[in-house]
Structure 1
Amino acid sequence: MSSPNTVLDDTSSFVPQEGGQDAGHLWMHFTRMSSYADKPVPVIERGEGAYIYDSNGKRYLDGLSGLFTVQAGHGRAELADAAAAQARKLAYFPIWSYAHPTAIELADRLAALAPGDLNRVFFSSGGGESVETAWKVAKQYFKLTGKPGKHKVLSRAIAYHGTTQGALSITGVPPFKQAFEPLVPGSVRIPNTNFYRAPYFVADDEKAFGLWAADRAEEAILAEGPDTVAAVFVEPVQNAGGCFPPPPGYFDRLREICDRYDVLLVSDETICAYGRLGTMFGADKYGYQPDIITTAKGLTSGYAPLGAAIISDRIFEPFAHGDTIFAHGYTFGGHPVSCAVALANLDLFDREDLLGNVRRNENLFRSTLERLHDLPIVGDVRGDGYFYGIELVKDKKTKATFSPEESERVLRGFVSGALFEAGLYCRADDRGDPVVQVAPPLTCGQAEFDEMEQMLRSVLTRAWDQI
């Protein structure tokens, strides 16, 4: 039911008050630019704690942490001060054959935090670049270890992994890809872990569904040929489609399959790392050991751009000898200022026990959102930690989803703008079935949960009248 313009990160139905800046020269990301041909663009001017303020002074609850990013909340002076102090000392230097102290210190710290033997840190500028890095590492690793045919990757249906040509090839959202094809060959799709839409033969048994979904990876590896498959890319909780958590046993079986066929398990934690699920890494939450973790976003709480691929000693080993070089890098990867902000951000995590705050409150967040089940339009509430999706349906008994016309009219035409108008910044999305996603800063508690639920309830009650 997707079309090229059905990702609803924009607030195209929201008409702000007069005033604010003219954004006529700005080409916004993932946005129908025609939506603003005859009306002004909403302009967010400042943030404080869990709230953002537009150019007219109106306050909104930031129910998406910017873009699953602002873990520590807005307006943290200590993070701004860390950036300023580093910029005064060394504003920029690359890590191409050189190093600088903040990159070294941050790499040491991430290696100490990451599970198992993930001790090598390759910095990038963001999540898509980290995914790109991981695929290239996997390809070259197998060339260096005598298996040059292993280059393909498996990823899940509707999963989003980035927009660079390689990461976009791994992405499982067809409308995102069509305008840019042909892409990098060798990416193969397997089922995701949406238990709400599980096949009928495992629809009543979450563990059986998880094993069935994981076994499809083995099926795909055998169909492609084990000597051609290099890696499987999965998120701990899949973002696109609306926050699909892993069923019991899923990652244990997937790890077994990867080991059986010498395939790398890449945990794409661009969203799920750094506390979003109440643990430093999503792999910690679900007890599995990846070969590579790709990260970004919450590493700096969004106060500076930074990503990292954290790679196992085993995978790094063949790169460490002779004249071997990994011919890959980014101008701003491991930027001194960004690394300084990340270090200050991790200090803040420790000082304020942000991971503990999520763990103490995650069940309250879930139960608060589950109150919405009494609405006829709410089919499913799913997710984990501070990362949830609310799937909208037009028939709860049959789980019937919206038609493309209904999605355009109700989700994009009403829900997206009405939530923003009500004072809640979140995401209305129909890359799979129509959902509303919420992922507040990790500093939030019951007061913010209640406020969020009340605004969602009001808007979704009115949305039902649109169907």
Structure 2
Amino acid sequence: MTHDELQQAAQEHLLLHFSKQSIDDLLVLERGEGPYVFDTKGNKYVDALSSLFCSQLGYSYGEEIGAAVASQLSTLAFNTNWGTAHPPSIELAAKLAEVAPGDLNRVFFTSGGSEAVEAAWKLCREHFLAIGQPRRKKAIARHIAYHGVTLGALSFTGVPKFKEPFAPAPIDVTHVSNTNMFRGGPDGGRVTDEDAFTATLLAEMEDAIVAAGPDEVALIIAEPVQNAGGCLVAPRGYWKGLRALADKYGALLMADEVIAGCGRLGEWVASGREGITVDLVSLAKGLTSAYAPMGAVLARDGVVAPIVETGAVFRHGITFGGHPLAATVALKNMEIFERDGVLENVRELTPYLAERLSTLLELPIVGDVRGDGFFWAMELVKDEDDTRFDQAERDKLLRGFLPGRLREAGVIARADDRGDAVLQIAPPLISDKAVLDDIVARLRDVLGDAGVHMDVGSAAAGVA
């Protein structure tokens, strides 16, 4: 189809995800090269979002991955993991157990992130049934956190506008404060005492467990760096405190790493950096670098052992979970990571990217820069007191101005609104200093213009 034919067909037939269903001049991307993508008009963009945190390797490994897929297609195109298995899923499970911390040795495959979160919850429930604690049916999650939109995963998600149309939630979940250190201080401003902030968050978590019933809470779920709200990093000691609370009250602790895992923070399992081992981990997105759809749940031996020992059946399954082609892609992806030093690249360049992004604080509209690895956010504010934009102003900025200006600048980034105005980036993990510099330079131009557009302080001086 031509560009115009694609636009017309999309308007008439394609239902978009998390989007209004009528978009003039829909961005349609048709090819990629390295960290860059090209639309149907021939315009080039630096993909500073890795196609929604997925394309860890960028877009130049298709031929190599395609050859691995072709070999698998000529051997065995499909088999399930329902009472049978096939070599790629077994080999991938073993490889993930090898790179995961501690005794995260058992792996269940899904087709994506929401499915992984749902599968983890079912595994959690089966665990407690197997050990004779059927009352544990509740969970604790965090405000604004996004854990998926299938109905079970949606229960954990802390974004009301996504949840309310589909209430009541099938899982009883209490939501507690997230780790926003820019807004989490006593006066609603920046946190100045990190240890006190950690203590406050953990006390709230413990209160929530007690209020829900310590013998009824099955799961505590959180992201190593929370995506929604804009790359919210946990304060010092937070994850060790969650581990201690889970152990104290007999709950399982889960790290949702659909975004944070698979190299985004420089590790296959990012929660392992915290000096603990969680009980469950959800992975997806970067597991295959988006060359195929796939997700996974990693579980500690102790979570699965009671199910095995009692001879119970794990009453959950997904037809395409662990598909031979997806597993083959994931194995090749992990091979490329090791061969090309992808994790090492992220670890080496994280301080450089942090320093380059911090220069954007010179712009009056940028109140905070936060994140880790290749996963960062800028919170946009209306004045030097870091005042939030109101809803009408956020609509004007995030939905009105930024999408078009980012597209004009040839950079793909994510303007997001969870009550705060946030712009996120997550570059492909193969990006070098030149690509990172290019991204920051384009963001500086865009955000400088955004400050002028929103009449933020001396925005024009900041641009200069």
The TM-score normalised by the length of structure 2 is: 0.94
Provide Cα deviations, 1:263-294, integer angstroms capped at 9, x if missing partner: 10000000111110011211123222100111
User: 1:158 and 1:445 mapped to 2: Cα distance?
Assistant: 32
Moved more, 21-30 or 45-54: 21-30
User: 2:25 and 2:109 mapped to 1: Cα distance?
Assistant: 37
Q: Which amino acid aligns with 1:348?
A: I
Query: Of the candidates 371, 377, 389, which is equivalent to residue 402 of structure 1?
Result: 389
> Mapping of 1:248-287 within 5 angstroms?
248-287=236-275
User: 2:178 and 2:391 mapped to 1: Cα distance?
Assistant: 22
Provide Cα deviations, 1:58-111, integer angstroms capped at 9, x if missing partner: 110000111101111113021222122212211111110000000000001111
Query: Of the candidates 209, 224, 227, which is equivalent to residue 236 of structure 1?
Result: 224
User: 1:304 and 1:132 mapped to 2: Cα distance?
Assistant: 20
User: 2:74 and 2:207 mapped to 1: Cα distance?
Assistant: 55
User: 2:362 and 2:295 mapped to 1: Cα distance?
Assistant: 40
SS at match of 2:355: helix
Report whether the alignment pairs 1:191 with 2:177: yes
Report whether the alignment pairs 1:458 with 2:445: yes
Query: Of the candidates 298, 303, 325, which is equivalent to residue 286 of structure 2?
Result: 298
Provide Cα deviations, 1:180-202, integer angstroms capped at 9, x if missing partner: 11221311101100000013179
Deviation (angstroms), 1:55: 0.6
Provide Cα deviations, 1:157-198, integer angstroms capped at 9, x if missing partner: 100000110100100011111211122131110110000001
Query: Of the candidates 67, 70, 75, which is equivalent to residue 89 of structure 1?
Result: 75
Moved more, 73-82 or 122-131: 73-82
Contact 1:138–1:151 under 8 Å retained in 2? no
Provide Cα deviations, 1:304-337, integer angstroms capped at 9, x if missing partner: 0110000011010111135410110111100000
Contact 1:20–1:56 under 8 Å retained in 2? no
Question: What is the aligned partner in structure 2 of residue 51 from structure 1?
Answer: 36
SS at match of 1:419: helix
SS at match of 1:45: strand
Provide Cα deviations, 1:398-425, integer angstroms capped at 9, x if missing partner: x211111001111110012211221001
Question: What is the aligned partner in structure 2 of residue 423 from structure 1?
Answer: 410
Question: What is the aligned partner in structure 2 of residue 204 from structure 1?
Answer: 192
Contact 2:55–2:286 under 8 Å retained in 1? yes
Query: Of the candidates 293, 317, 337, which is equivalent to residue 305 of structure 2?
Result: 317
Measured on the aligned residues, the alpha-carbon RMSD in Å equals 1.5
Query: Of the candidates 60, 69, 82, which is equivalent to residue 75 of structure 1?
Result: 60
SS at match of 1:188: strand
User: 1:416 and 1:285 mapped to 2: Cα distance?
Assistant: 35
User: 2:300 and 2:99 mapped to 1: Cα distance?
Assistant: 13
User: 2:349 and 2:195 mapped to 1: Cα distance?
Assistant: 26
Percent of residue pairs bearing the same amino acid type: 47
User: 1:266 and 1:438 mapped to 2: Cα distance?
Assistant: 25
Task: Give the 4+ runs in structure 1 shifted more than 2 A.
Answer: 17-22, 284-288
Moved more, 237-246 or 175-184: 175-184
Q: Which amino acid aligns with 1:72?
A: L
Deviation (angstroms), 1:20: 4.9
User: 1:113 and 1:141 mapped to 2: Cα distance?
Assistant: 24
Question: What is the aligned partner in structure 2 of residue 4 from structure 1?
Answer: none
> Mapping of 1:347-426 within 5 angstroms?
347-397=335-385, 399-426=386-413
Provide Cα deviations, 1:428-450, integer angstroms capped at 9, x if missing partner: 00024110000000111211111
User: 1:79 and 1:331 mapped to 2: Cα distance?
Assistant: 23
Report whether the alignment pairs 1:246 with 2:234: yes
Contact 2:370–2:377 under 8 Å retained in 1? yes
User: 1:415 and 1:372 mapped to 2: Cα distance?
Assistant: 16
The TM-score normalised by the length of structure 1 is: 0.93
Question: What is the aligned partner in structure 2 of residue 114 from structure 1?
Answer: 100
Q: Which amino acid aligns with 1:443?
A: I
Report whether the alignment pairs 1:308 with 2:289: no
Report whether the alignment pairs 1:101 with 2:74: no
> Mapping of 1:118-129 within 5 angstroms?
118-129=104-115
Question: What is the aligned partner in structure 1 of residue 50 from structure 2?
Answer: 65
Q: Which amino acid aligns with 1:71?
A: Q
Question: What is the aligned partner in structure 1 of residue 427 from structure 2?
Answer: 440
User: 1:46 and 1:180 mapped to 2: Cα distance?
Assistant: 36
Q: Aligned residue pairs: how many? A: 448
Contact 1:215–1:254 under 8 Å retained in 2? no
Question: What is the aligned partner in structure 2 of residue 179 from structure 1?
Answer: 165
Moved more, 86-95 or 357-366: 86-95
Contact 1:80–1:303 under 8 Å retained in 2? no
> Mapping of 1:115-154 within 5 angstroms?
115-154=101-140
Question: What is the aligned partner in structure 2 of residue 170 from structure 1?
Answer: 156
User: 1:446 and 1:68 mapped to 2: Cα distance?
Assistant: 19
User: 1:429 and 1:234 mapped to 2: Cα distance?
Assistant: 20
User: 2:447 and 2:6 mapped to 1: Cα distance?
Assistant: 29
Q: Which amino acid aligns with 2:437?
A: D
Question: What is the aligned partner in structure 1 of residue 458 from structure 2?
Answer: none
Deviation (angstroms), 1:19: 7.0
Moved more, 335-344 or 69-78: 69-78
Contact 1:19–1:55 under 8 Å retained in 2? no
User: 1:204 and 1:220 mapped to 2: Cα distance?
Assistant: 25
Q: Which amino acid aligns with 2:431?
A: C
Instruction: Give unmatched runs, 5+ long, in structure 2.
Output: 455-464
> Mapping of 1:3-82 within 5 angstroms?
20-22=6-8, 23-24=10-11, 25-34=13-22, 36=23, 39-76=24-61, 77-82=63-68
Provide Cα deviations, 1:2-21, integer angstroms capped at 9, x if missing partner: xxxxxxxxxxxxxxx86755
Q: Which amino acid aligns with 1:424?
A: V
User: 2:369 and 2:216 mapped to 1: Cα distance?
Assistant: 38
